[in-house]
């Protein structure tokens, strides 16, 4: 099974890093295809915790080549900080490849992220403040700076000046100091020689690898409900986190993809603003947050917590063409007498079975729950499905049925090996 996409199927932080790392130990390539250092992917190996932001989780596997695809936005300062940190912890990062077409996050990209949030006031998105939105905006507006520009100083200078001709008047309008083109160019050029050996034709390398039947895992950042097209717009990130993004963000065609795996928590969390029908604003939400350790890897913000949302799961299955679900954090739910599962919504007194197409309706949606019996046992040592208590097995079967997609793996702890594999995702 050579080409597998791993992506978020809720609102992010589902455990994509752990799922990718597991496959990474058996893959030749792990490719990050969207987003940037807004992501925070946690991997725990031999008791040691790694929080990866810009680097693909495959970097922790010695046999795997990690790749940053063209769909990613790269903050070069963060890239080398992460590389230095991993190298100091004994991780070999020398195989990292970066697409020449990936865009870079500039200092003014970061500034505009904060300024836009401030200007939005109460309608703010709650971004990670990393300059993600403005960098993708510049890409779409054809004002972006790409990795390949670092090797052509005159071209770089011209592009930075063209961008600043539009940015500086805006900065002045915000009463902010304007940006000096020479400073931006000098900053970007300071990374050029270090990044040069990593740059390659990612599309060619990945397609060649697939021709040779090598295993390529695509690691999504963010999530389906944060996708710029399919998420809860405008409360989304600025890239395609869904399965199509793996193709456009790496230059590998859809006909080459064998499996699309959606990672879902056994409940739901969200960071930042925007609709979240099953959100718990009471002590149950606080219990989930504390028991699940639900605090952001990137910003440290407390995550909003709520019960499993089956219409969202079905929606994710649809827009991504999911073949499998990796269900994570089942262990967190031990000790509940019964577990609510949202099966439909109430919108203005009318039962709605699927995620409404109109955001005004989704914002008003309240959950209609069914209740599944819980279990008391600690399940963190379970290594097979049969070892789980009957109620936990029934909960998994129930989620499978209401989500309309098979569950192929279950997480029972943060460590790499705390996973019950029902079906091998690389088979």
As annotated, the active-site residues are: 13, 41
Shortest CB 178 distance to Mg ion, Å: 35
Shorter beta-carbon distance to ligand GDP: residue 179 or 420 = 420
**Nearest-angstrom CA–CA distance, 302 and 310:** 23
Q: What is Dmax (Cα atoms) for the chain?
A: 67
Shortest CB 192 distance to ligand IMO, Å: 26
Shorter beta-carbon distance to ligand GDP: residue 13 or 75 = 13
Length in residues, the chain? 427
Which stretches does DSSP call E strand in 102-241?
103-104, 199-200, 216-219
Shortest CB 61 distance to ligand GDP, Å: 15
Give which of ligand IMO, ligand GDP, Mg ion, none residue 110 binds (C-beta under 5 to 8 Å, depending on kind): none
Segment near Mg ion (CB under 5 A), from 5-13, 95-103, 116-124, 173-181? 5-13
Strand partners, 98: 68, 199
**Nearest-angstrom CA–CA distance, 306 and 277:** 8
Shortest CB 241 distance to ligand IMO, Å: 8
294 contacts Mg ion (rule: CB under 5 A): no
Tell which one of 8, 13, 147, 149 touches Mg ion (CB under 5 A): 13
**Nearest-angstrom CA–CA distance, 313 and 294:** 20
Strand partners, 309: 342
Query: In the complex, which residues of this chain contact ligand IMO (CB under 6 A)?
Result: 8, 12-13, 38-41, 125-128, 130, 132-133, 221-223, 226, 237-238, 271-272
Span between the terminal Cα atoms of the chain, in Å: 5
Do residues 113 and 132 touch, judged by C-beta distance below 8 A? yes
Give which of ligand GDP, Mg ion, ligand IMO, none residue 44 binds (C-beta under 5 to 8 Å, depending on kind): ligand GDP
Shorter beta-carbon distance to ligand IMO: residue 112 or 308 = 112
Buried b (16+ CB within 10 A) or exposed e, 84-97: eebeeeebebeebb
Shorter beta-carbon distance to Mg ion: residue 60 or 202 = 60
Residues whose CB is less than 8 angstroms from the CB of residue 249 and which lie 6 or more positions away in sequence, other chains included: 33, 34, 69, 70, 71, 72, 239, 240
Task: Please give the distance of CA 17 from its chain centroid, rounded to a whole number.
Answer: 9
Shorter beta-carbon distance to ligand IMO: residue 231 or 413 = 231
Give which of Mg ion, ligand IMO, ligand GDP, none residue 15 binds (C-beta under 5 to 8 Å, depending on kind): ligand GDP
In the numeric block, the tokens 């192929």 are attached to 408
CA distances from 330 to 195, 392, 425 (A): 41, 8, 19
Shortest CB 41 distance to Mg ion, Å: 6
Shortest CB 209 distance to ligand IMO, Å: 24
Q: Which of residues 194-253 bind Mg ion (CB under 5 A)?
A: none
Give which of ligand IMO, Mg ion, ligand GDP, none residue 285 binds (C-beta under 5 to 8 Å, depending on kind): none
40 contacts Mg ion (rule: CB under 5 A): yes
Query: What DSSP character marks residue 387?
Result: G
Shorter beta-carbon distance to ligand IMO: residue 237 or 408 = 237
Shortest CB 345 distance to ligand GDP, Å: 25
Query: In the complex, which residues of this chain contact ligand GDP (CB under 6 A)?
Result: 8, 12-18, 40-42, 44, 293, 297, 328-329, 331-332, 411-414
Give which of ligand IMO, ligand GDP, Mg ion, none residue 271 binds (C-beta under 5 to 8 Å, depending on kind): ligand IMO
Q: How many residues bind Mg ion (CB under 5 A)?
A: 3
In the numeric block, the tokens 């603003």 are attached to 273
**Nearest-angstrom CA–CA distance, 106 and 113:** 11
Shorter beta-carbon distance to ligand IMO: residue 19 or 392 = 19
Does residue 346 come out as left (phi exceeding 0), alpha (psi in the -120 to 50 range) or beta?
Answer: beta
| Site of interaction with Mg ion (CB under 5 A) | 13, 40, 297
């Amino acid at each position: 099974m050579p080409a597998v996409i791993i992506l978020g199927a809720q609102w992010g932080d589902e455990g994509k890093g752990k799922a990718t790392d597991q496959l990474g130990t058996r893959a030749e390539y792990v490719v990050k295809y969207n987003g940037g250092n807004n992501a925070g992917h946690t991997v725990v190996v031999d008791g040691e915790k790694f929080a990866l932001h810009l680097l693909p989780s495959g970097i922790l596997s010695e046999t795997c080549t990690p790749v940053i695809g063209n769909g990613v936005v790269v903050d070069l300062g963060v890239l080398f900080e992460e590389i230095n940190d991993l190298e100091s912890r004994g991780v070999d990062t020398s195989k990292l490849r970066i697409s020449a077409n990936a865009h870079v996050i500039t200092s003014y990209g970061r500034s505009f992220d904060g300024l836009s949030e401030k200007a939005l006031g109460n309608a703010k998105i709650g971004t990670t403040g990393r300059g993600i939105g403005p960098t993708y905006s510049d890409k779409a507006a054809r004002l972006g700076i790409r990795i390949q520009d670092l090797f052509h100083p005159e071209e770089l200078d011209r592009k930075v000046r063209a961008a600043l001709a539009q940015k500086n008047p805006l900065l002045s309008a915000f009463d902010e100091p304007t940006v000096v083109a020479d400073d931006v160019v000098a900053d970007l050029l300071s990374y050029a020689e270090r990044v040069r050996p990593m740059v390659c034709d990612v599309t060619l390398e990945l397609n060649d690898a697939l021709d040779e039947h090598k295993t390529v895992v695509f690691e999504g950042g963010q999530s389906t409900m944060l996708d710029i097209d399919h998420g809860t717009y405008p409360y989304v990130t600025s890239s395609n986190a869904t399965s199509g993004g793996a193709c456009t963000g790496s230059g590998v065609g859809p006909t080459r993809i064998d499996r699309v795996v959606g990672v879902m928590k056994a409940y739901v969390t969200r960071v930042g603003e925007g609709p979240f029908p099953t959100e718990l604003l009471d002590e149950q939400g606080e219990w989930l947050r504390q028991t699940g350790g639900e605090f952001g890897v990137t910003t440290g913000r407390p995550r909003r917590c709520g019960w499993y949302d089956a219409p969202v799961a079905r929606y994710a299955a649809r827009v991504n063409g999911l073949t499998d679900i990796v269900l994570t954090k089942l262990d967190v739910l031990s000790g509940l007498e019964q577990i609510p599962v949202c099966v439909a919504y109430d919108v203005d007194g009318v039962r709605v079975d699927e995620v409404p197409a109109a955001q005004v309706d989704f914002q008003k949606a309240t959950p209609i729950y069914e209740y599944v019996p819980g279990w008391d046992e600690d399940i963190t040592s379970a290594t097979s499905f049969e070892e789980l208590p009957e109620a936990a097995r029934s909960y998994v079967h129930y989620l499978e049925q209401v989500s309309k997609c098979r569950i192929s793996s279950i997480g029972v702890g943060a460590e790499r090996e705390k996973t019950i594999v029902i079906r091998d995702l690389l088979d």
